Structure 1
Amino acid sequence: MAGAAVSLVAFIFILFFAPNLPTLLVGEILCGVPWGVFQTVTTAYAAEVCPVALRGYLTTYVNLCWVIGQFIATGVLRGCLHRDDEWSYRIPFALQWLWLPFILATVWFGPESPWWLVRRGKKDEARKVLDRLHNTAGEKEAQARLDNTLEMMVYTCEMEKDLAARQSTHSFADCFKSTDLRRTEITCVTWAIQALCGSSFMGYSTYFYQQAGLDVSQSFNMSLGQYAFGVVGTIFSWVLMTRFGRRSLYIAGLFALTLTLFAVGFTSLADSDSAAASWAIGSLLLVFTFTYDCTVGPVCYSIVAEIPSTQMRAKTIVLARNVYNVFMILNGVIVPRMLNPTAWDWKGKTGFFWAAITVVLFIWAYFRLPESKGRTFAELDILFEKKVGARHFKDTEVSIGDVQVRPTE
């Protein structure tokens, strides 16, 4: 994280001083490397530094950070909207420097992942980190609980090694072997759903609003409102996830998104010059954003952080994020053509396209997505090892003592 932040400081200079489009492209490509680190490390780290009871809150907070960033970015672009000089694009690039000192300070004072330390046999260092995270302050009972937590982490890592008979070196190929194959599928598809459920409407919302009939200023204002809804939705997801769990909330979210996308498509069948239809579509996109950011958006981060095994979590998350990125690249090619009046000119009818895909995603989630709420990583390992069906994860009783492992030296 620290290395990515420092490199981003340098790469932003390329964007800020770019004299032409090829230089700008080079700068964007180089910035993609540290951005990739931020996308993957944060999710794995969030799952590994907090107890089970808080894991859902911290992992979904990653989505809240995305939404806040999008809100700020849209506000900055809105503020530069009427500038016609070079600062209209340099100011947004330059403002990224403001965040980097905060990131570096946070990384400097933040503890290393205790799971990462345990996997490398550094139990003493892992215990110090746990002591710091739990803030036990020398209390005997708290120290005993901390020792139990550490032993459970060691037990989980040894059990995973023993069950899968892995070697000491863990490669990406291991993500597609034994029980990890199913876990990789769930993690990759869950993250791909973020790109395939019509969320591109949000990324291209300002342009979409313009094509739907709103003027430029109103389009940016609607986008600001959209991301504000996203912040509220993510916070609301904490309440819903505590009550309903990951699986139920994710499936219900996909169902609601499907209905909203169909509504966008049917509304677009009205007169394209109708102001009422334009505002109706804009309002439906606000509903879409709120629904997405209290279901599929934030819950995805909990699922992708919890489903992989502790040994393969980092690599599985990297694979899943790259699957997401591939589909987002595809979206970047086709979505502008869908909305552009000089290309396909689908406008709001794009809703039909994404609604059809979301129906397929809903079916996959119903049959393949398990419930991970309240499960320790050891319990999830056993459930996957026993090949418990996704719809039965929630009600299946697990006894960790039933699995014997051979501790390594």
Structure 2
Amino acid sequence: MSTSDQERSAREALAIARWTEAGQAPSREVSAEVERPGPHGRELDESNQETGVGNSYGGDGGGLPGLGPLSDFGSWESVAATVLRKTEDSAGFDPSSTSFDRCQWVAFEDQFQTMPFLTDITSQSRDTSISSLSLLPAVSTVTQLVGGLVAPDTLADIINSIKKIGQLTVQNEGLQEKDTNMQLGVLTVVDGDLRLGLLRTTVRMEYRTGKGYQQLNQQITVSSLIGSLDFGMCVRNAEALLAWDGQDVNGWVNGTSSSAYPPNTSPAWGSTVTLVSAVWSNGRVTVAGWAPPGWVLKTTNDTTQGWFDIEGGRVHAGTDGWFTLETGRLINGQAAVMAFPTGDNTAPPSPESNLITPRPTITSAVWFDGHVTVAGWASPGWVLKTTNDPAQGWFDIEGGRVHAGTDGWFTLETERLINGQAAVMAFPTGDNTAPRSPQSNHVMPA
């Protein structure tokens, strides 16, 4: 090991040691935060407080690097779940408890944002207003904060988890008025990144005879922290990670106070439509997501021209709200859906769904004369790119720029593979800063 490597190893070991000890001996900043007034500017009375925690996991199916000395974990998701468990333990925070402890609440957030294994942390917050009749603004605010940073299926699970925390709050009786401190953990795979996130807000509730708990008319602040797991840091410090109490991603998801509750079904959540996935295949896009049960799904190329039944016939959301459909209609290259209570477009519809750029699909990858011939489907006219390492960027095909045809079909020849597997990404132009598709499926060349 070189002198520079030894120095880096020492710095990292010290940073990890200081971080694990910080929760046991809070910093002055954390102590000052504990002394601040409680939610809504009132003096904090912990007897009127509760905690509701949920965790959400998902991903776009993109590949992650090899685990190397961390192979005993079985997956990078388990590595991340173990780091998150250490974050809880070092802060003394119990995600399975509804009891509120201000010191632990503040310490956990501090431990999360100072985590030495997390890079490129994005911190945001937004204010919105909610009432007992309208919770949709809270869902919209969360979507605005993290919709572009997580995989579509993770966003859908986040919204589902919010509703599960809502149900926990409704059923956790005993106080006339209370503040519910809501926390949602996020673990998602996006474009070769493993992202860890933390969403928080506090909602004031009042118990009303015959109606149960209801949200008071109020303004809430939703905050988010999201960063990427530093794979190199984890590998270099494998010995420390392997010595911690391990946790797989299922244990992380199911170890919260809200995990056993069903989603709350109050009409106040509104008639939202959430797309979970959109995938190219055979010249069409297969779209899946959630909508009000029984409602009719419609798509369009241009919102000013109206919304139309699916080309192959009318599609309804199932009794549980799940739907799948195939369409050739996109709005500026992105899938979008609107739901109607009947087939009549004059009935009040849902808001327009979130937009999803469809994922390209590789149908074949074959070795020939030292390169791989890749064929599949992508957005018509979009530029296809490949890479050996998503962290280093995506590049035009070695022999020249390749576009998907007018029907979406493409073929290309490349020597670039991700961990031995073919993968592509599609861009509307050759500019990598433009909105891009998710990574395609990964295929081992034949």
Question: Which range, TM-score by smaller chain?
Answer: under 0.3
TM-score of the pair, normalised by structure 2: 0.26
TM-score of the pair, normalised by structure 1: 0.27
